[in-house]
Structures are given as structure tokens and as C-alpha cells.
Amino acid sequence: MRTGSKLQVDPIACDGRGLCAEILPELITLDDWGFPIIRDRVVPDRLHEEARETVRICPKLALRLEGPH
Amino acid sequence: MRAHDDLRHQPSQAGQAAQATPQRPDHLPRLLPTGFAAGPARLAEHCARYGTPRSSSLDRRRREALIEEVERSGLTGRGGAGFPTARKLAAVAAQRSPVVVANGTEGEPASAKDKVLLARSPHLVLDGAVLAAEMVGASQAVIVVHHSVREIVDDAVAERRRAGFDRVRTRVVTAADRFVAGEASAVVHWIEDGLPTPTRKPPRLAERGLGGKPTLVQNVETLAHLALIARYGASWFRAVGTAEEPGSMLVTILGAVREPCVHEVAIGTPVQEVLALAGGASAPHQALLLGGYFGTWVDAAAAASLPFSSAGLATLGASVGAGLIAALPGDACGLAETARVVRYLADESAGQCGPCLFGLDAIAGEFLRLAEGGTSDLGMLRRWLGQVDGRGACSHPDGTVRLIRSALAAFRPELEQHAQGWCRATGTACILPVPPRRQR
């Protein structure tokens, strides 16, 4: 059961490369300076795999998926 | 000249001189010395007034009883966030070999209450720091103080060493002179690595802080209250203040008042009575900045009769914050005042989080254009405020956004005038102190 996983960004580690918003536009948009805004921190089940991929691909390792997996 | 150089503690007439037999202070001020003697209270005077603190390694039961007493007192952090002190104490006491940090950084240029407290009653803060260490089972307390009071605190620590006073090791560190340096994780970062910037959470400081150890960071005023609660008990503490926000607090009063000062007031004292302690208005007030630079602008007339408590000020969307009231005279421009402070706050970003670094800079530029009557885009400004709010590792962007939003509400009539290129302000004096801009 993985319902309720939360996607979180470490704002110190993040330097706004923006890959996350390309991979997961359903949950992540960019602000006017190119830094990710996570629209809905609770990841719906259908996006769980994409969320994991996004966490893996962040070049700054600034994303984390927390909670039940 | 820095504004707080002007600020003096105004002793209360109600206080009694130190007596041979220590008595519970029944009147305010509780924390600051009574009478007109200049300089810090020496150890002998301190003990004559409050009695000698019992310094013994506390057994588990005594520690728990003391934490319960603090819980009954209702003491909350006096650094601005107002978190219940007993909960912080209990969280750290549950961990192994913790450390205590007394936070006297007070990086906010307008605030002087921690500096005045350390300059006048250094031993009360040290009592509190040592006691907090004993309560959580720490063997070390680090006292971080503004450079202007470093010598006084060093002297007080030396006095206690000579007297063989404390069983807990105390170390004094000069605070970094930056606005963000007072944030709890930044204080720990500064002590450890000489970098006054906040660090990521988790881990929480109560779990992993200084040297990887569980760390209790408490504001110096909070610790001074703690020292008195341990002596006189929770009921004594609650004898002033409101039921929800008991006790007294130090308040910095500045701006259009006759005698800018730091005063100790019962929480819930009407705002106009707090202003009267600073000699009253030196010019008619149009607005008050409550809480500090992360605080809230409110209409002066609307706030006058409200209790100075977070519950009392909530009707205006304000809170007591770190205990600050800045009075804006009628002839000043609130937008221009705010623009200067916002520029300063943007410059003081630790520069670690993108939305804070780039967003606040953009916001400061847009707000300045608005205040100067240039071509500005209020819609864009509001959009940016929404984008940076809550987006940092610490509350620096949130606090700045709060200040700006309150300015846009409080000075709404002026917004339109400014958009048409004129301002009704005739005064040129700067009310809110901001240090000279540093080279970036």
C-alpha cells in the first residue's frame, strides 16, 4: 500500500534545473525563476512511478518521496 | 548610528531596590534591574534580588517536575515564534547527551530587547541557560550574544566561575551580525562552522544539532523567564498577563515616540499604554508596525485600545512577534519605509533557496518602484508574493511576504496616489532602522 506518499523538495539543494517539471507536469510547475512548485504534495497512486523517476533523475538529489511506499 | 544605540531601558517606578532578603518580584519589571543604577547587575546584586539559584545536578524526578512546572506556567518562546517552552524542553530531555544554546543573536536592526536584557541582567539569562541545561541533562550551554554586549556577558561568566557557581560548562560566542543569523538552525550552523545560514530540516535540532547532538535553542529572554519560574513557580509567573498568554514580555518601542526604549510589560497591556511607557507619541501616529520586520502594519487608531497579545492583535491579523512596536508618524510614507526594509530583507537572504534569493530580490525591486511612484505592476507583485511564500528552508521569505502584504493593506489609499506619481508624505525621516547596504 503506497497511498499518501509525499513529494518534497529540499529548497537548499535545488538549483532550478527544472527537469522535474518536465517529467511530472501533473504535480510540478516552475515559478517565475525556474524553481519547482509542488502543486499537490500528496502523490496519487497513478503517478507514483513517475514521481519515483523524478526523484531519481534530479541532478541535485533535491527531491524526496516520503511516507508509505 | 544604529537605532538601538538610542534605546535605553526605562526603569519602572514601581520596583523596589534590592533587599537583603530576596522576595518574589511582585511588580514589573521582573527581568530588568529596578532603580536607576547604570550597567549590568553584578552577581551579588543579582543574588540579593532573586536569591541564589540551586545549582545541583537534578535527578530525573526533579527534572520532570520542573518541566511540568514550566508547562503549567504557559511560558512560550520570546524570540518571535512563541512555541511552548515546556514542549521543547521535553523533546530534548528525552534524547541522549544534548546541548543547550542560548540565542541572543537578535539580528533584527529595530529590536533591542535581547541586547538590553543581556546588558542589564546577564546573570538571569545565564541562570536560565544553566538551568535549561540541567533540566534536559546537558553538560554544556553555549551563549550566543550580539557583539555589543559580549564583554558584559564575558564578565558575568567570569564572575560566576570565580564564585564556583555553575556545574554546567558555559561558553560565550559572538553572534553573526546578520538578519537570518538568529534563526535556530543558523545559530547552530554559525557556532559549528562559522556560517550564519539556516540548514535543511529534517533533521530537527532537537534530534541532531550542534556537533550532531540533540540541541535545545532558546531565546535569551525565554531563559530569563525560565530562571524565575524555577524560583517562584508557575502561579507567580501567571499572576500577570492573560490566561492564554501568561507572563510578561520585553518590548522594543521605537519610531514616533518621545523616548524610544525597551520596557517589560504584562502581556495583554493595551497598545496605547505600551506606547505611553515610551513617553507617548512625539507626532500623531498613522500606523504601527507590530512584531518586527516579519510583522504586520496596522492602523494606529484601530490598534490603540487592543491588548498587546497575540490573541488581542489577531483581529488585525497581527501578533506580538518578537515584542516590537514601531510607530509611523502621520507625515511619513509607509510604502517608502516598507520598501527600504524589504530591500534590506531581500539582501539579507542567505542566498541558499532560489525562490528567496531571486524572488525577494525581484519583489524588492518591484515594491521600490511602487513606493517611488514609478511604473510598477501590482498584479505581478502579488503573483510573486504568492510564489515565494513558504518556499524556503526557513521562514525568511514568508516573513517578508507577511510584511509586504500588510503594507499593501494598511497603506491601500496611498497605493493609488503613488500609481499616479504623488505621495502625501512630507516627512523625510527614516523610522525603521536599516544598516548600510553591504557589497554583494
What are the pLDDT digits (tens) for B236-249? 999 999 999 999 99
Domains along chain A? 6-66 (3.30.70.20)
| The predicted structure's pLDDT at residue B257 | 97
What are φ and ψ of residue B197, in 5° steps? Answer: -120, 145
The nearest alpha carbon in chain A to B359 belongs to A33
- State mean pLDDT over B348-361: 97
Multiple choice CATH, B39-238, 3.30.70.2190, 3.40.50.1000, 3.40.50.11540, 3.40.190.10: 3.40.50.11540
Chain A residues with CB inside 8 Å of B356's CB? 11
Specify the pLDDT at position B273.
97
Please check the confidence at residue A1 and state whether its pLDDT lies above 50.
no
**How many angstroms away from the CA of A35 is the closest CA of chain B?**
6
pLDDT value, residue B60: 83
Percent of chain B with pLDDT over 90: 82
Contact with chain B for residue A66, Cβ under 8 A: no
pLDDT mean over B15-42: 73
What confidence tier does B54 reach under pLDDT thresholds 50, 70, 90?
A: low
Opening angle at CA B115, ends B112 and B121, nearest 5 = 130
**pLDDT on residue B53:** 78
Q: For residue B424, name the pLDDT band (cuts at 50, 70, 90).
A: confident
The whole-number average pLDDT for the span B150-156 is 98
pLDDT grade for B16, boundaries at 50, 70 and 90: very low
Residue of A nearest to B357 (CA): A33
ipTM of the complex: 0.93
pLDDT band at B3 (very low <50, low <70, confident <90, very high): very low
Residues 8-27 of A with CB under 8 A from B: 10-16
List strands edge to edge, sheet with B215-219. B169-174, B140-145, B99-104, B215-219
| CATH topology for the B334-419 domain | de novo design (two linked rop proteins) (1.20.1440)
> How many A/B residue pairs have CB atoms within 8 Å?
43
Residue B254 has pLDDT above 70, yes or no: yes
Look at residue B14 and tell me whether its pLDDT is greater than 50: no
pLDDT at residue B359 in the model: 98
User: What residue in A sits closest to B381 (Cα-Cα)?
Assistant: A32
In DSSP terms, B141 is beta-bridged to B100, B170
pLDDT(B295) > 60: yes
pTM of the model: 0.93
The pLDDT > 70 percentage for chain B reads: 93
State the pLDDT confidence band at A40, using cuts at 50, 70 and 90.
confident
Sign of the CA dihedral running B296, B300, B302, B307 = positive
Q: What is the pLDDT of residue B152?
A: 97
Residue of B353, B360, B377, B381 to mutate when probing chain A, most A C-beta within 10 A: B353
Enumerate the β-bridge partners of residue B296: B290
Q: How confident is the model at residue B21 (pLDDT cuts 50, 70, 90)?
A: low
Cβ-Cβ contacts under 8 Å, A39 against chain B: none
Angle made by CA atoms A54, A55, A59, in degrees to the nearest 5:
90
pLDDT higher for B95 or B202? B95
CA–CA separation, B379 and B305 (whole Å): 34
Residue B105 identity (one-letter amino acid): T
Instruction: Give pLDDT, residue A2.
Output: 53
CATH fold match for the domains B39-238 and B334-419? no
CATH architecture of B249-329: Roll (3.10)
Chain A residues in contact with B358 by the CB 8 A cut-off are 33, 35
Among B251, B252, B254, residue whose Cα is nearest residue B241: B251
Tell whether A61 lies on the interface with B, counting CB pairs under 8 A. Answer: no
pLDDT, position B93: 95
Compute the average pLDDT of residues B196-215: 93
Q: Summarize pLDDT for B60-107 with one digit per residue, the tens.
A: 888 999 999 999 999 999 999 899 999 999 999 999 999 999 999 999
Task: Give me the pLDDT at residue B421, please.
Answer: 84
Please give, rounded to a whole number of angstroms, the shortest distance from the CA of B387 to a CA of chain A.
6
Of B70-79, B100-109, B130-139, B424-433, the range with the lowest mean pLDDT is B424-433
B378, B395 contact by CB (below 8 A) = no
Lowest mean pLDDT among B53-57, B208-212, B238-242: B53-57
pLDDT of residue B274: 98
Q: A3: how many CB neighbours lie within 10 A of its CB?
A: 11
A33 touches chain B (CB under 8 A): yes
Name the 3-class secondary structure at B248.
Answer: strand
In this prediction, residues B333-338 reach a mean pLDDT of 96
Domains of chain B: which residue ranges? 39-238, 249-329, 334-419
Cα separation, B180 vs B345, whole angstroms: 9
Of B2-16, B278-292, B358-372, B405-419, where does mean pLDDT reach its minimum?
B2-16
What is the arithmetic mean of pLDDT over B398-416? Answer: 96
